[in-house]
Amino acid sequence: MTLPYILEDYDVEGFLPVAAAFGRERFGYVVTPNVDHLIRYHDDPAFRALYADAAYVLLDSQFLSRIFRVFEGIRIRVCTGSDLTEQLFARIIAPDDRIVLIGCTCEQARLLAKRYGLTALSHYNPPMGFIRDPEQVEACVRFVEAHSPFRFCFFAVGAPQQETLAQALKSRGVARGMALCIGASINFLTGLERRAPRWMQRLGMEWFFRLVNDPGRLAQRYLVRGPRVFSLLRMTDVQVRPRPVLSPTVTTRAGTPESIAR
């Protein structure tokens, strides 16, 4: 069976004005698929439903982008969750914006608030395995709702936990603001983990850098599970969703317009 796989054609610079203009009057969540997500998408109907409910599906993987170009003849821009998160904090989020962070340690939340001068950062770190406990899931969802409307809510608890929480918030209809499922992005931003050098990122080799630095955790994912993506390509109907034309400027942290390169 061939499955439609719908992606937005945004890079980081192109998506920044979308995120900046989203506002606090509605709720929508962003997912950032990589190779592992594409495999989950084929294996798990529930995971496909999480993606179907997302407001934006941004390709996180240079590796996948190259595969789509070579095997499918489709060019799709890459908007990595880590780069997007960094740019949102550096250029878009103002010190008094209401921000919610789910996951990460209290020390990471403190470092984040200090680095960017955040005065309205609310942090909640659910316990390990929380997604299997309905009461813990409820506590997490209620925390987010209690701090709504927010400008951005960052889910940093890994897939599919973060997407599950985002979908639950959408279905309840209480929260307002943009939520982003960003995985390990805060770890990179606060120095807990190192990203690959830029040249490796551009070549789609960031996965190899992470594997070398953490083989015990990632060998199964990258060396055993990951190669399945090639057999799944013939069962994947990659589609690019047209994007609306927006003003090429956003409001920066300083409150002044900034041009956004296309």
Single-letter amino acid code for the residue at 203:
L
d(CA 225, CA 211) in angstroms, rounded, equals 13
Q: What count of residues does the chain have?
A: 262
Instruction: Give the chain's count of helices (H) and strands (E).
Output: 13, 10
Ramachandran region, residue 73 (left: φ > 0; alpha: ψ -120 to 50; beta: rest): left
Full pLDDT tens readout for the chain, 262 residues: 789 999 999 999 999 999 999 999 999 999 999 999 999 999 999 999 999 999 999 999 999 999 999 988 899 999 999 999 999 999 999 999 999 999 999 999 999 999 999 999 999 999 999 999 999 999 999 999 999 999 999 999 999 999 999 999 999 999 999 999 999 999 999 988 787 788 888 877 887 777 787 888 877 877 777 889 999 988 999 999 877 655 555 555 655 555 443 3
Q: Where are the domains of the chain?
A: 3-247
The whole-angstrom separation of Cα 86 and Cα 84 is 5
